[in-house]
Structure 1
């Protein structure tokens, strides 16, 4: 006798041949088809497959997450530049980036961005989500989403009722410390900014060490926390190196996805009895909708795609955090990451990491946070500042310089400048056009300037003076507003926090793409669940919020409400 779960899987899946575009393609049928096995897709795969009476197929464009650098926290420096596990996207040059194209790398492997990111866990402010609800998105206020933050999190360490203890993603405190970081914190406190032991409690303001998604010295990505455990179930199938070419529509209903495993290769189709769910990330979800004939009519006509469902907001409302970084040289004898990452010292750190002892290999990209206000009188912080006891090379994000030093960066929480993501053609092997329009809004310039001036104050406190020597970037000659803005335009960079291209909002909002149930407006059986649905960018890194979105999406799909039961 077959096991009940296995029998359920076989009874809900079929295989036949069907003609698509003049070609015969293999077709499989599942209840749910998820496009993308990143942070959101991993959560959805796990939650939906908990019901052994349904079948789930996940299509991931990248390979399995076997690259060893994925699992070593400091390995993100390697994977960030590895086209084998990333989409090496770049922005379009713009007047506010000095005519530069900026790398906006995204994860392309199981776990997606959670397998290559800087490992920081940051939820944002309650007001971020209350603002979403005020925009007409029912069920997305802070009290509504807090249970989903808690469900995804396995907090190890200090934390009150707002924190989750049993979730799939462990969140731990820093365990490797550098005297320069502690001096930085004390210096910031000397300026009147309080120390905050838990910025994820619902009260963000203050300075302290970041919390991170590391356990026993290893990265715990969404793939490790959610997807791999679920892959043991017989009703879940994950197909890697499967690049989605189009969402298939029959009338107004999404019925499946066509995908391909190599350029020019044979196409395949997976059909969905219940729903197709797009979790490909802010850039790829928008592009996939557009090449499927769902989006702004003028764009679709320009790239030669038939307009199957006009939806002007697809690809618009794109936002990202834009950061400027200052670097200071350390005094002789001061030990920073620059020295510890070389020669015998690095060998010692590797041995410590292998023994699961505190090591630079098991730290997140930034060590210290400061959440503060650009101007007095604000109710909540509108700036995020970061500090690392290591100096990065000019123009090379996260590449340590030859000399010892420190780096501090700042970005605006909620920029008003917005841009777009647009397919260049119907070919999904061609990178999309990404234009963030950084610093185009006057308010963004004003806040960014305030952030840079705060960095200077933070780096020139009496507490840091014994450790630091001189500012090397941008340099003390850069002083006026015009000079600082020019530096920001020529040297600033993405924080990889891409959101907004499938904006959630009521049908009356002409820019909205999905409803507050994440269903694509005007279509049936098609849902989006990833960072692209954010109506506005959060006051945070985006990973924690993406986990929350997917947890809530799973309940919406299953007709449940964790918030109501909490």
Structure 2
């Protein structure tokens, strides 16, 4: 079906928020023409998307996969010891929801209250959180929804390693919770839920839930994929359409071939934290000094565009586990028999297959004790007093266990592994992104800002120690893969030991054997003292320095970019107001995670959906519509002629 040259609403970007806005508005009124423009391919019926257990393939940069776009720091970073960070962004309809780890988490209640914007408090947003959920787990509170389009479950299976992890977490003071995502609990562990439908075994992505479900029954939602939005078209300061180009550079003799689509009501930018500010700047919205240097006409001088880039930071460590443990290692290693077995299992019974899981079955949120704070340095303690101390719902770190090695298996020795992830949820560090040309294919100037605030080292160092203590207390523990840990001095009591049971004769000193349960060394005939493994390792200042160097060398993105078009007062560097209108323009909104004025302690899929739901509500009210769902149909109302989408919402 061809696409019209003029529609009512154009949504630029088919990530989670964009899918929600486009789908909700189109479904609200079949007479409303909505166009969704996405730079990547359509995700519909793509087995590499809907089979949950193969998500790792989508994260690889191998020349074949085109489901992600990679942003690399323009300059080497002294904070990363001369390294450049790489931040992948989804390049497919559904955005990150089509290729992410599928980990279900939610932001803390105070995160939304910290927006300090009318209509955006936790109390305001909770009904929308519930509206989007099809929660498929037992629950003892009223914070979840059960009739929404996004399925949340434990997946097809939960490994025994997850239970082992929970028991070991409890042993070091991290209690079990049956719902760590109630927006209030900040120090506990749980069986980690997933964006997987337990009835079908499939990934629950935003495009399937909000877009395909509408295009199946209506003809007013036009989806254009493999197209990159170049700029917004203005008449004065009023957005009247967009220009887009082919996603791949097919410029001829230096010319960029643009296609124009007009918008009668509103243009919505939903191209993500790294994409939206670039579109704004190419359109003449941003820091006037930057725009004039690129010979761009200034529509609205907003110095905050592209600033205050934020992410969550992760490090990962590998541990050996017993041969009896179920992990995905043989599958990921490429063992043909294992792959054949697991794929056949998925085809016959996807609702309970092992590939109907991400193998991330357990995790924790943690806050330091008063004693632990004394070891974390003045920079972090200052941040703690200002940011965390009086907000007990905010965790400092997340952690999770993967039943398998999240690594290049061609470089690993044989064996079975677990991966421990540590996630810093509220970094103090900040970055920025700005265009370097009017050409939409030209790489931007990008500074991720990773670890440029010293306060961020202490919590990652502390969390590394916590996950290591958990691993050492697991029954399946068989030693540390030293190549994936800090390089401690060999004589340090904290030095890692690789003690694979199958090669113990090669690894152990003569006359020693291995205490199989916890990996301690002891002489033949000597009683195994299990109590020693319940003693925390001690770290010297030299050991802490080794951890910090390792963090600088290995810290990575969690694909949780946000914050470059902040929703706050214009005089404070804000880009959008509480109704998501871009300052100094008309009929132009930003609806994605770029609008966050502060960080959110969560895997950000849930928050992107929520921002989309809130944006859809705002737009619907301005257009005189009511949001409806298949579960509770609401008769649509006609759009009053000539009514702009920037009309203030009356509450």
Give SS of 2:152's match: strand
Instruction: Give the corresponding residue for 1:62.
Output: 40
How far residue 336 of structure 1 moved from its aligned partner, in angstroms, is 2.4
- Which of 203-212 and 513-522 deviates more? 203-212
The 2-side partners of 1:180 and 1:211 are apart by: 15
Instruction: Give the corresponding residue for 1:241.
Output: 226
- Which of 515-524 and 197-206 deviates more? 197-206
Of 63, 76, 79, 2:55 maps to 76
Contact 1:210 1:368 in 2 (8 A): yes
User: CA 1:538/1:397 → structure 2, altered by over 3 Å: closer, same or farther?
Assistant: farther
How far residue 113 of structure 1 moved from its aligned partner, in angstroms, is 1.2
Instruction: Give the corresponding residue for 2:470.
Output: 458
Matched, 1:272 2:245: no
User: CA 1:430/1:397 → structure 2, altered by over 3 Å: closer, same or farther?
Assistant: farther
Give SS of 1:247's match: strand
How far residue 266 of structure 1 moved from its aligned partner, in angstroms, is 3.5
> Taking structure 2 as the reference length, what is the TM-score of the superposition?
0.78
The 1-side partners of 2:412 and 2:575 are apart by: 41
Query: Larger radius of gyration, structure 1 or 2?
Result: 2
Matched, 1:493 2:556: yes
The 1-side partners of 2:316 and 2:79 are apart by: 16
Matched, 1:531 2:593: yes
The 2-side partners of 1:221 and 1:284 are apart by: 20
Where do 5+ consecutive residues of structure 2 fail to align? Answer: 374-388, 489-494, 496-538, 628-648
How far residue 222 of structure 1 moved from its aligned partner, in angstroms, is 0.4
The 2-side partners of 1:349 and 1:77 are apart by: 15
The 2-side partners of 1:436 and 1:187 are apart by: 35
Contact 1:246 1:289 in 2 (8 A): yes
> Taking structure 1 as the reference length, what is the TM-score of the superposition?
0.89
Of 389, 392, 396, 1:382 maps to 396
Contact 2:164 2:476 in 1 (8 A): no
Higher strand share: 1
Contact 1:282 1:499 in 2 (8 A): yes
Give SS of 2:115's match: helix
Matched, 1:370 2:349: no
CA RMSD of aligned residues (A): 2.6
How far residue 513 of structure 1 moved from its aligned partner, in angstroms, is 0.6
Of 459, 466, 470, 1:447 maps to 459
The 1-side partners of 2:158 and 2:411 are apart by: 20
Q: Which structure 2 residues correspond to residues 224-235 of structure 1 after superposition, within 5 A?
A: 224-232=208-216, 233-235=218-220
The 1-side partners of 2:209 and 2:40 are apart by: 18
The 2-side partners of 1:302 and 1:158 are apart by: 57
How far residue 468 of structure 1 moved from its aligned partner, in angstroms, is 2.2
Give SS of 1:105's match: strand
Matched, 1:45 2:28: no
Give SS of 1:173's match: coil
Give SS of 1:219's match: coil
Contact 1:392 1:399 in 2 (8 A): no
Cα deviation digits, residues 329-355 of structure 1 (max 9, x gap): 224544422135433233222122112
Cα deviation digits, residues 497-543 of structure 1 (max 9, x gap): 0000111112332x111001111011110000001111112111100
User: CA 1:399/1:498 → structure 2, altered by over 3 Å: closer, same or farther?
Assistant: farther
Matched, 1:29 2:29: no
Give SS of 1:208's match: strand
User: CA 1:476/1:284 → structure 2, altered by over 3 Å: closer, same or farther?
Assistant: closer
User: CA 1:238/1:401 → structure 2, altered by over 3 Å: closer, same or farther?
Assistant: farther
How far residue 397 of structure 1 moved from its aligned partner, in angstroms, is 11
Instruction: Give the corresponding residue for 1:349.
Output: 342
Give SS of 1:104's match: strand
Q: Which structure 2 residues correspond to residues 66-465 of structure 1 after superposition, within 5 A?
A: 66=44, 67-81=46-60, 82-92=64-74, 93-133=76-116, 137-159=117-139, 160-205=141-186, 206-215=188-197, 216-232=200-216, 233-261=218-246, 263-264=250-251, 266-341=257-332, 342-355=335-348, 356-364=350-358, 366-376=360-370, 378=389, 379-380=392-393, 381-393=395-407, 402-461=414-473, 464-465=474-475
Contact 1:247 1:256 in 2 (8 A): yes
Where do 5+ consecutive residues of structure 1 fail to align? Answer: 1-9, 16-27
User: CA 1:504/1:285 → structure 2, altered by over 3 Å: closer, same or farther?
Assistant: same
Contact 2:269 2:591 in 1 (8 A): yes
The 2-side partners of 1:180 and 1:448 are apart by: 23
The 1-side partners of 2:411 and 2:351 are apart by: 24
How far residue 60 of structure 1 moved from its aligned partner, in angstroms, is 1.2
Cα deviation digits, residues 390-446 of structure 1 (max 9, x gap): 1233xx599987532111121222111111111122221123233221122122122
User: CA 1:546/1:485 → structure 2, altered by over 3 Å: closer, same or farther?
Assistant: same
Instruction: Give the corresponding residue for 1:18.
Output: none
Cα deviation digits, residues 266-309 of structure 1 (max 9, x gap): 32111111110001111111111111111112222344433332
Matched, 1:540 2:613: no
